[in-house]
Amino acid sequence: MKKKKDAEFIQPQLQLDDSQEEEVYKVAPLFHLRMFGSQQTANHAYRWNDINIHGGIGDRIIDLTNTVLPKETAVISIRHIAGNIEIYVPYEVEVCVHHSAVFGRVHIFGKTYNKLVNQTATFKTKHYDTSHPRVKIVTSLFSGDIEVKRL
């Protein structure tokens, strides 16, 4: 029986030939991290990249009508301190929203949910689980509103 101090150390040996290396390249983000000031997507056609940002103070406006969403689920993730988030979605796109806020309101497709105080709310369109294209929106705000509407 071996004791802990007599334990045998085994180092795995990995042998990768050049044909197994994956090619990786950097993709330009739609938004850059900005602590102050507002940001929005381009007013002209742009290539879609999933959004994963955090910020301080200011508004974020994302217009999905100027891009082509992927066949899989597109993802928008925003963590923000204070400001409003507006997301414009085409009519044929299914949507799932996970929103948490300390103080704020939620406006989704014309319905308003007031006084979201230290809560998390989740909303889905009827065919989100079965249809494509679709977008998953995950947001966290300390203070501010989120609005998701069709264009």
What pLDDT band is residue 20 in, cutting at 50, 70 and 90? low
Place of tokens 């940001």: 39
Over residues 60-112, the pLDDT tens digits come to 999 999 888 988 899 999 999 999 999 999 999 999 999 999 999 999 998 88
pLDDT value for 106 = 92
In a domain, 66, yes or no: yes
Question: Residue 138: which residues within 8 A CB-CB, separation 6 or more?
Answer: 75, 76, 77, 78, 98, 99
In a domain, 46, yes or no: no
Q: What is the residue range of 76's domain?
A: 51-151
In a domain, 103, yes or no: yes
Contacts within 8 Å (CB) and 24+ apart, 28-31? 29/53, 31/60
Mean of per-residue pLDDT scores for the chain? 86
**Bridge partners of 137?**
76, 97
State mean pLDDT over 18-37.
76
pLDDT value for 147 = 94
In a domain, 9, yes or no: no
Kindly tell me if the per-residue pLDDT of 35 is higher than 90: no
In a domain, 80, yes or no: yes
Strand 73-82 to 85-89 pairing: unpaired
pLDDT value for 16 = 62
Count of the separate structural domains present in the chain:
1
pLDDT value for 4 = 64
pLDDT value for 125 = 92
Specify the pTM: 0.78
In a domain, 79, yes or no: yes
In a domain, 149, yes or no: yes
In a domain, 136, yes or no: yes
